[in-house]
Structure 1
């Protein structure tokens, strides 16, 4: 492992010599990820993208992409665009990327079940802002706002996110 890997531990995520408190999925960790199970998938993942709300925050790094009013993420396993960024109007089940709360003001997109998504294996595994310390996610990894922004300035596409099967 490299100090530039984000490594989940029982006490948070280790990255560049720091240990950052985080929240994971309400379903815990899993090696058999399924859509809607609320679990964080075990494995070695990579950062595939960075999205941000330009109406709320400045572009954190040059490779970040803005989230607009029509931006969505498909979570319908019957959809050909399952587990991909899509735009409204959109007739399939989806998640709003432009939320009313600040959770998705800055989103690191992980490559879980992407770009060649297998139906039902889980979608939208992101790194984003938490609601509050210890509050679980729907399967994502979440940090306080300041730690998330600190991470975003230091990672790049391809940065590894290591989620071991913790005891």
Structure 2
């Protein structure tokens, strides 16, 4: 990551990334703007520079008006959740520094994630699907209500690998029998398409145990409920998992 050591260099980075200090993206009067700026710049600055005259990098986050950050230190199995939404031209904090549990093996880059390794994958993921056991009004996002025969396949040999299925299948996990599937956001790792063995069932789900997950992100149900109530598919929400 390039260091940003002056207002001039900060403005240069923002201009390169397609932002304006006068644009709605950075009218951050209601929260600590530095937090948001750092988060945006951290990810966008990972884009390679090939020389002067480059056009702004093509990042999906440029159009997002809701961003959920999961952050943790390397090797740690605990981290924090921060959620921001753009409201009437201002970035507003919805949730800040909510404790989360990560996989027992910590974080790993998404391309290195493998089935059963206990890692939570790093990456930038569109928030598109929510799954739960109750009837819910979800704003402009796909919602699947869990039934008694709802399963998710984590068997690399299955043609339904890393997919939600509505029937029993050998090697598939029942979503009906566990509290951790009461409500969850699908983290779209290895989903479209699902490559056998590269990791499955990566969710943001309820977690009350004082121990790591198997690779998901676990958070208290009350915070997950608040998050889901605020999400709006028309704001192109993204989930970003990063080491700090």
TM bracket, shorter-chain basis: 0.7 to 0.9
CA RMSD of aligned residues (A): 1.8
What does the per-residue CA deviation read over 1:69-96, in whole Å, with 9 as the maximum and x for residues that have no partner? 0000011111111100112232x31111
The equivalences for 1:81-160 within 5 A come to 81-90=160-169, 92-99=170-177, 101-132=178-209, 134-157=210-233, 158-160=236-238
Misfit runs of 4+, over 6 Å: none
Q: How many residues align?
A: 160
Tell me, in whole angstroms, the C-alpha distance in 2 between the residues paired with 1:3 and 1:47: 12
1:7 paired with 2:69, answer yes
| Correspondence for 2:146 | 67
User: Judging changes above 3 Å, is the alpha-carbon distance between structure 1 residues 49 and 81 closer, same or farther for their aligned structure 2 residues?
Assistant: same
The equivalences for 1:23-42 within 5 A come to 23-31=101-109, 32-42=112-122
Tell me, in whole angstroms, the C-alpha distance in 2 between the residues paired with 1:94 and 1:78: 11
Give 1:60 shift. 5.0
RCO higher in structure (CA 8 A, sep ≥6): 1
| Correspondence for 1:76 | 155
Larger-gyration structure (1/2): 2
1:53 paired with 2:133, answer yes
TM-score, structure 2 normalization = 0.61
Contact 2:162 2:191 (C-alpha < 8 Å) held by counterparts: yes
Secondary structure class of the residue paired with 1:113: coil
Question: Which segments of 5 or more consecutive residues in structure 2 lack a partner in the other structure?
Answer: 1-39, 41-63, 73-78, 85-92
Tell me, in whole angstroms, the C-alpha distance in 2 between the residues paired with 1:7 and 1:161: 6
Give 1:41 shift. 0.3
Tell me, in whole angstroms, the C-alpha distance in 2 between the residues paired with 1:60 and 1:36: 33
User: Judging changes above 3 Å, is the alpha-carbon distance between structure 1 residues 128 and 60 closer, same or farther for their aligned structure 2 residues?
Assistant: farther
